[in-house]
Structure 1
Amino acid sequence: MVPYGRISEKTGGSTTFKIPYKNKLVCWIVSNWNSKHKRSQYYKNLKQHISIETYGHSFRRPVSNENYSDLVSSCKFYLSFENSIHKDYITEKLYNPLKLGTVPVVLGPPTKNYEELIPGNAFIHVDDFSSPKELAEHLKLLDQNESLYRQYFTWREHFVSSTTYFGPEHACWACDHIRRNKNYRVDNDLNSWYWG
């Protein structure tokens, strides 16, 4: 697994986290639209029960890199819907909202898979609700109850979220691992190594 981000323990500094100012309830940025994807179908059902601010090329509202952070942090909830549902396939769609102080609403592998990587009180999983309507009702309740909403940030007292610089950072981790663990082996033919 090559992670798109990580949660790590806080070291020093303040234990309080200031939730960014919110002026949008639910947001979603999509540039890869496929009506057959589970996320597209779930979105169509969910939008019947709650207002969703949509952005990205799929909605003819592109978001520049300069505006991305401000936009995502201004949303109470962000639809962190993966375009493919597979074990351990958890991408920047989760880690970016976490880093920016927004509660991700995830659609992807099961809840337990997410909980292997991040605290269970840091996200909302669509599978924990019987229907998109029930999820919408829960989000509306959290919108109206500040103390319930703040519970999704208690993990911030002890942890921070970060995203990875995809590619080079992972290569550095591999080099560091090899440096620290001298009992590795070199295999020049990946195909025969994999297929044995």
Structure 2
Amino acid sequence: MSSIPGHRKLHLVLLGTILLGYFACLFLLYYDPSTSWALSPVNSRQQTEQSNDIVSNRSNDDVITLLMWTWPSEKRGELNWCSSRFNIEGCFITQDRNFYNKADGVIFLHQYIYKNGSNLPKLRRPVFQKWIWLNGESPTRSVRIPMIENLFNLTSNYRQDSKIPVPYGVLVPADGKEEFVLPRKNKLVCWIVSNWKPIYARVKYFNEFKKHIKVDTYGSAFGVHISRKEYLSTITSCKFYLGFENSIDRDYITEKFYNPLSVGTVPVVLGPPRHNYENVIQGDAFIHVDDFSSPKELADHLLLLGKNEEMYLRFFEWKRYFKVRRIFFLTEHVCVICEYLRKHKEYQTLSKFGEWYWEN
């Protein structure tokens, strides 16, 4: 048997060395060093073991695994609420970062991303995985972070042009045509607010408005505490509620609008233009400050409506056909995202993210 020439032996040794190095790089690239980079599991050991069984087979299309990467600490604990609260099945939700390589989607709540991005994943994103940017705040109240411009596949927030839009509320068909019964009212105008800054347009408007009409005010901004139990009943007791947003941005229509609508109170809104609200509900269901030349003119109009029940009741004609369903912030977002990922397996990219949200 002839021996292998020396130069061929050298070539084989070099080839073997190259292949060994290649597979070593792959190992380091895809190895999951959870003991050094992941947070401690949030769920119990038993729940983690059960979760491993659920997501161990990536071919199982019945289960969508969502990893909450940045999340409010108070939301820790039991996370699998989609079935019990929203009748959305097959969602496994976790904050255990050991599931990173198995997750169909990783959700990043914008307010909890560090400005330097140091709390973002260090490992490469699996090719099947979506990174979802979630934000309930307006552009005005959201810090723009340049280094996240090209990180995400999907967006989910209140914007109608978000990839997975989840507004603060929606109108749904009423069960049947029923006559609206006006709740008992003992106040004309009310406002509950905690976030008070003199630079806000709503603060400037209110300071002039209150000179011409009595406003019952509540919240920490006015030193009057309102419990969660008292919140909706207080709004119900008022004929008009000041649904003044803290910033004026496209589609930014929050619970300040939907809460009074849901309990039979007329919202007086300060926010995006009237047509933006009319994408949600008919125009004679609310009052927009832009329809009046001054806060005094608005105050005079509310005083008139407060004395004329026939005119006032016209604001509720829509209630014969529709009702308001308020959205549960964050929890419902996650379940809607889960449902979206079940239907959309294709690879997706997100371009000009910052321009879309902060400049559009």
TM-score by length of 2: 0.51
After superposition, residues 128-143 of structure 1 pair within 5 angstroms as 128-143=291-306
Question: Rg bigger for which structure?
Answer: 2
Secondary structure at 1:97 match in 2? helix
How much does 1:183 deviate?
A: 5.8
After superposition, residues 71-86 of structure 1 pair within 5 angstroms as 71-86=234-249
Instruction: Choose the corresponding residue for 1:4, options 168, 176, 191.
Output: 168
> Could you give the per-residue CA deviations for residues 23-74 of structure 1, whole angstroms, max 9, x where no partner exists?
0000001101001110001001111111000000010001000111111000
How much does 1:7 deviate?
A: 1.1
| Residue identity in the other structure for 2:172 | S
Number of the residue aligned with 1:185: 347
Q: 2:93 matched to 1:93? A: no
| Residue identity in the other structure for 2:203 | S
What is the number of equivalent residue pairs in this alignment? 191
| Distance in 2 (alpha carbons) for counterparts of 1:135 and 1:193 | 40
| Residue identity in the other structure for 1:185 | Y
Contact 2:248 2:272 in 1 (8 A): yes
Instruction: Choose the corresponding residue for 1:62, options 225, 232, 257.
Output: 225
Compute the RMSD of aligned alpha carbons. Answer: 1.8
Number of the residue aligned with 2:192: 29
TM-score by length of 1: 0.91
Contact 2:176 2:320 in 1 (8 A): no
| Distance in 2 (alpha carbons) for counterparts of 1:184 and 1:125 | 42
| Residue identity in the other structure for 2:167 | P
Structure 2 unpaired stretches of 5+:
1-158, 160-165, 355-360
Secondary structure at 1:148 match in 2? helix
| Residue identity in the other structure for 2:301 | H
Contact 2:184 2:237 in 1 (8 A): yes
Structure 1 runs (4+) deviating above 3 angstroms are: 181-184, 192-195
Number of the residue aligned with 2:332: 169
Contact 2:177 2:321 in 1 (8 A): no
Contact 1:178 1:184 in 2 (8 A): no
Q: Identity of paired residues, percent?
A: 52
Structure 1 unpaired stretches of 5+:
none
